[in-house]
Amino acid sequence: MRRKGFLGALLIALAATALFIGCSKKEQTIKIGFNIPLTGDNPMVGEGSKNAGDIVLKALKAQGGLTVKGQKYPVEFIYVDNELKAESAVQAALRLIEQDKVLAVVGPQGSGRAIPAGQVNNDNRTPMISAWSTNPDTTLNRPYVFRACFLDPFQAPVAAKFAKEQFNVTKTAILYNLEDDYSKTLAELYRDSWQAANGPGSVVVFDSFGQRDQDFSAQLTRIVNSGAEMLYLPVYYNFVALIVPQAKDLGWNKPIMGADAWGSADLVPLSKGSVAGYYFTTHYAAAGAVGKTKEFIDEYNASYGYIPDDVAALTYDAVNIVLQAIQNAGLSGDLQKDRNAIKDAMAALRNYDGITGKMNFNVQGDPEKDAVVVRISEAGEFVYVTSLQP
């Protein structure tokens, strides 16, 4: 009896849901999913992404929704935590696609999660735009997957070129995180372009560590005693905060060059003054920004009390690219048809004027834009140094 009662209740609930969906077809909500790391080793990445999303949402709420072809639609953002794990990112992607029935997905942010989740989104024909994944594999041969930032095969050579000219050195050491696709690929690309420019033997140490390591003294001892004139450190900011002070304790006093994973608002609080004077390649520079970029920074700072990092800025652009694509494509109410239309509209965007620069998507869904080099000042600000062309 109990069982029958339960089944009956389930049927009624299903019928009610069906009815509800049937009724609400006219009042379609634009749902956009966020596949982001709210917990895990780099929660600031997720926090920045969510804050950027909330700023966009607040602006939309103030306007009463998104205007698509003359009609206003309510907008809903669904934030799902991927814990900075590949398997959770895949689960989150499936949940957003199948359960929440989103029109498009923003994120995952880093390549380790964006590559597997990109496969899921592409297989399920749901447009996805990663704001911060720089590995080529994320978008390669995946028509439904886009990104809002430049790629590692572009970032590494420009960083090598900049470092050589800036520090006037020929011998470099490289230390990377073996368990992180992003870090490993970037280290290899940097090594190759450094050797191409400075001859064989110019990379004197090419060493790695693991995701859970806290002591790097053996690797750093080797680097300090190797005769390297600079260190390339393509690792996440939480490792920077451990590695840089340890290197200094072992007597390292030469330049260190970082990559875009340094560009977190947490970098300076975690590493205190130890990173002052170092350079890294990134997507935008907050200090000295003008126009729309400055408006975004001011609003973000007013709402959350700190300067947005590159993830937040790129997420802001990524969300707006999706919204622009929805406006261009229009909505029919048929989920799959709309997803396809949004994908086509994103691919067709030309000269999109984002806060991190102008963007055109190429055939792979990658934008063509400049890299920025910033210097960390003694006050802990990321100061704009130069823009590097592709």
Partner 1 sequence: MLTTFLQNVFNALQWGSFYSMIALGYCLVYGVLRLINFAHGDIFMTACYIAFFIATALLGAFSGGGVFVFALTLLLTMGATALVGITIERIAYRPLRMKGVNRLYVVITALMVGFILENGNLAFLGASARRFPDVIEKHIWQFGPVVLTNLKVLVILAAFAVFGLLQFIVQKTVLGMSMRAISYDKFAIPLMGIPVNRVITFTFALGSGLAAVAGILFGMSYPVLDPYMGMIIGWKAFIAAVVGGIGDIKGAFIGGFILGFIEIFITAVFPSSFKDLISFVILLIILVLKPTGFFGVARSTKI
Binding flag, residue 4, partner 1 (CB under 8 A): no
Which tokens sit at 250? 């072992």
Q: Which stretch binds partner 1 (CB under 8 A): 132-140, 147-155, 163-171, 205-213?
A: 205-213
Q: Least CB distance from residue 219 to partner 1, whole Å?
A: 6
66-81 CB burial, b ≥16 within 10 A, e <16: bebeeeebebebbbbb
Binding flag, residue 79, partner 1 (CB under 8 A): no
**Interatomic CA distance for residues 377 and 279, integer angstroms:** 9
**Interatomic CA distance for residues 198 and 173, integer angstroms:** 13
281 closest CA partner among 263, 307, 268, 256:
263
Binding flag, residue 248, partner 1 (CB under 8 A): yes
Binding flag, residue 249, partner 1 (CB under 8 A): yes
Q: According to CB under 8 A, which one of 168, 214, 351, 389 is a site residue for partner 1?
A: 214
Q: According to CB under 8 A, which one of 2, 3, 26, 212 is a site residue for partner 1?
A: 212
Q: Are 203 and 236 in contact (CB under 8 A)?
A: no
From residue 10 to residue 39, what is the string marking binding to partner 1 with x (rule CB under 8 A)? Answer: ----------------------------xx
Q: According to CB under 8 A, which one of 44, 128, 286, 388 is a site residue for partner 1?
A: 44
Binding flag, residue 165, partner 1 (CB under 8 A): no
**Residue 248 corresponds to which amino acid?**
K
Sign of the Cα pseudo-torsion (7, 9, 11, 14, in order)? negative
Q: According to CB under 8 A, which one of 269, 277, 288, 390 is a site residue for partner 1?
A: 269
Q: Least CB distance from residue 46 to partner 1, whole Å?
A: 9
Give the helix, strand, coil percentages of the chain, each rounded to 5: 50, 20, 35
Binding flag, residue 215, partner 1 (CB under 8 A): yes
Residue written as token pair 């067709």? 348
Binding site for partner 1 (CB under 8 A): 38-41, 43-44, 47, 178, 207-210, 212, 214-215, 217-219, 221-222, 224-225, 238, 241-242, 245, 248-251, 266, 269-272
